């Protein structure tokens, strides 16, 4: 049986890319930028006043003047005042373009204004409270590099350089196939021996965070229908996520159907709990299939541990450092499997350390426990006792 690290390596070695597309910048949130964004002007584009107050000629102050009659007023958005009498000032506002002879801004907090004369009460430096043109970026400089994931800060920068449409990486055309005759739709009233299918929505919701709108289909436990549907999906999708029907049961037809449809299976079991019967395959020259075990916790773990890392790797998300946490209480686990234990994390704020409290629940069918927990702690195979205080990898799924 394949160790977890090996399964991860195989999955990540099949990174894919799906081209590029242009989107209005707000619709590009969560997407990966496929172009370098450059400044179309200097940033800031003019010598910008950063405090409300008065603008003076520093030389006047240096020569001993402390009382400056207000000669004119300049609001943000007004064209810059370019002439100023000796020992006079411009009353000026944050965001205004300062030009000409004025070369220092004294904030209201440092003034006394009465009868149209400003008296300066604090020391003044030349150039103070002026954000110089091009001080942050020069026209043509990179302001957002290719590969950045678009969030509010990137959208802010795109707006300020006038990029209302962004070139981003395209997403895979994705289908989620649930399977099992016991499963009914979420809107149906289940019979006593039936349950509502939830995995499809788990997967759909997780992918939606990346902007993927996956189609949903449901497969009965009937081999001919399964084969036909899988073959059909191979024609029109880049990514197929299946849930259920991959174990040792008499009606688990998915593995055979995948092979019969021409999917190349790279592994069909991983030395882990939950999620042992995970299968990974490829088709055509770009297609990828994950067949996930149907137990909701198994599906969820395989999603967090393999599917999403593969997706992020394919899209070129900047590799973040793996999360780690300290186990809060000693845990014994006998089987020689990597154990993904459900945990709830908390932060020791003084030590800036993350701790993980075991919430073991009732095993891989215990979906309710996923809501109390917020992560899986990866306890490696080949070890039976995991000591309190030891550090392990953490797969966090809280929002
Ligand atoms: P299977 O992998 O088909 O043997 O299913 C394992 C368990 O997971 C069974 O109890 C199924 O009822 C359950 N299951 C499978 N698919 C889903 C699904 N889409 N939503 C909720 N539970 C599921
Ligand atoms: Mg089933």
Residue where a domain terminates, one of 271, 287, 315: 315
Report H helices in the chain.
4-12, 58-62, 152-160, 199-208, 223-236, 254-260, 296-302, 308-315, 368-372
Q: Do 141 and 52 meet the contact criterion of CB atoms below 8 Å apart? A: no
Region for residue 312 given its phi and psi (left: phi exceeds 0; alpha: psi -120 to 50; beta: otherwise)? alpha
Q: How much is the pLDDT for 365?
A: 61
Q: Which ligand is nearest to the CA of 199?
A: 1
How many residues are recorded in the chain? 399
Which ligand 1 atom lies nearest to the CA of residue 243? 16
Residue written as token pair 């002439």: 83
Q: Select from 315, 346, 370 the last residue of a domain.
A: 315
Which of 82, 113, 131 finishes a domain?
131
Same domain? For 335 and 367 the reply is yes
Handedness of CA 370, 373, 374, 375 (dihedral sign): negative
Q: Angle CA(11)–CA(211)–CA(317) in degrees, nearest 5?
A: 50
Shared-domain flag, residues 359 and 224: no
* Token pair 């259920």: residue: 244
Residue 363: nearest ligand to its CA? 1
Query: Range of 149's domain?
Result: 20-43+135-169
Statement to judge: residues 242 and 311 lie in one domain: yes
Pocket-forming residues, ligand 1, beta carbon under 6 Å: 178, 180, 182-183, 195, 197-200, 243-247, 249, 252, 293-296
Find the angle CA(89)-CA(94)-CA(95) to the nearest 5 degrees. 110
CA distance 128 to 55: 10
CB atoms within 10 A of CB 176: 23
| Ligand 1 atom 5: residue of nearest CA | 294
Transcribe 63-119 into DSSP letters: TT--EEEEEEEE-TTSPPP----TT-EEEE-TTPBP-TT--EEEEGGGEEEETTEEE
Indicate whether 25 and 150 sit together in one domain.
yes
Ligand 2 centroid to residue 220 C-alpha, Å = 9
One pLDDT digit (tens) per residue for the chain, 399 residues:
999 999 999 999 999 999 999 999 999 999 999 999 999 999 999 999 999 999 999 999 999 999 999 999 999 999 999 999 999 999 999 999 999 899 999 999 999 999 999 999 999 999 999 999 999 999 999 999 999 999 999 999 999 999 999 999 999 999 999 999 999 999 999 999 999 999 999 999 999 999 999 999 999 999 999 999 999 999 999 999 999 999 989 999 999 999 999 999 999 999 999 999 999 999 998 999 999 999 999 999 999 999 999 999 999 998 777 899 999 999 999 999 999 999 999 999 999 999 999 997 766 667 778 888 999 999 999 999 999 999 999 999 987
Distance CA 312, CA 304 (A): 11
Q: Are residues 60 and 88 in the same domain?
A: yes
For residues 251 and 178, membership in a common domain is answered with yes
- Same domain for 184 and 278, yes or no, is yes
Of 176, 178, 179, 180, the residue with max ligand 1 atoms within 8 A of its CB, to mutate for a pocket test, comes to: 180
Task: Give the pairing of strands 279-283 and 338-348.
Answer: unpaired
**How far is it, in rounded angstroms, from Cα 242 to Cα 257?**
12
Q: Are residues 216 and 298 in the same domain?
A: yes
- Domain count of the fold of the chain: 4
Q: What is the CATH number of the domain that holds 71?
A: 2.170.190.11
Among residues 373, 385, 376, 259, the alpha carbon closest in space to that of 309 is found at 376
Q: Which of 294, 298, 302 has most ligand 1 atoms within 8 Å of CB, for mutation?
A: 294
> Running DSSP on this structure, what letter comes out for residue 234?
H
Q: Could you tell me if 277 and 195 lie in one domain? A: yes
Q: Which atom of ligand 1 is nearest to the CA of 180?
A: 3
Tokens, residue 371: 């809501």
SS3 for 162?
Answer: coil
Atom of ligand 1 nearest to the CA of 197: 20
Q: Give counts: helices (H), strands (E), the chain.
A: 9, 28
Sign of CA dihedral 274, 276, 279, 280: positive
CA dihedral (162, 167, 169, 171) in degrees, to 10, reads 90
The closest residue, in CA terms, to atom 17 on ligand 1 is 294
């Amino acid at each position: 049986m394949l160790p977890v690290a090996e399964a991860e390596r195989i999955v990540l070695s099949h990174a894919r890319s799906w081209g590029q597309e242009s989107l209005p910048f707000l619709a590009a949130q969560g997407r990966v930028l496929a172009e370098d964004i450059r400044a179309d002007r200097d940033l800031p584009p003019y010598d910008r006043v950063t405090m409300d107050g008065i603008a003076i000629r520093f030389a006047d102050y240096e020569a001993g003047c402390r009382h400056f009659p207000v000669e004119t007023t300049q609001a943000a958005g007004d064209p810059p005042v370019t002439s100023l009498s000796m020992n006079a000032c411009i009353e000026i506002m944050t965001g205004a373009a300062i030009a000409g002879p004025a070369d220092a801004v004294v904030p209201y907090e440092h003034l006394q204004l009465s009868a149209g004369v400003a008296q300066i009460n604090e020391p003044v430096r030349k150039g103070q409270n002026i954000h110089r043109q091009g001080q942050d970026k020069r026209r043509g400089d990179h302001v957002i590099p290719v590969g950045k994931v678009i969030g509010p800060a990137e959208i802010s920068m795109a707006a300020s350089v006038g990029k209302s449409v962004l070139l981003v990486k395209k997403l895979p055309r994705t289908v989620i196939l649930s399977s099992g005759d016991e499963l009914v739709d979420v809107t149906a009233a289940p019979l006593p021996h039936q349950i509502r299918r939830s995995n499809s929505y788990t997967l759909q919701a997780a992918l939606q965070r990346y902007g993927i709108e996956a189609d949903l289909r449901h497969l009965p436990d009937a081999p001919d229908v399964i084969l036909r549907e899988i073959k059909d999906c191979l024609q029109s999708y880049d990514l197929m996520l299946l849930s259920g029907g991959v174990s040792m049961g008499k009606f688990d037809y998915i593995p055979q159907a995948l092979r019969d449809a021409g999917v190349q299976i790279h592994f069909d079991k991983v030395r882990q709990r939950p999620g042992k019967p995970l299968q990974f395959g490829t088709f055509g020259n770009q297609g990828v299939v994950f067949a996930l075990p149907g137990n909701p916790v198994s599906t969820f773990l395989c999603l967090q541990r393999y599917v999403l890392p593969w997706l992020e790797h394919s899209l070129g998300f900047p590799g973040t450092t793996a999360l780690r946490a300290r186990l809060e209480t000693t845990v014994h686990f006998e089987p020689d499997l990597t154990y993904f234990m459900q945990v709830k994390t908390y932060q020791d704020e003084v030590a800036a350390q993350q701790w993980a409290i075991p919430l073991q629940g009732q095993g891989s069918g215990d979906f309710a426990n996923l809501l109390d927990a917020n992560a899986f702690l990866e306890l490696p195979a080949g070890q039976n006792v995991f000591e309190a205080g030891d550090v392990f990898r953490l797969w966090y799924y809280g929002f």
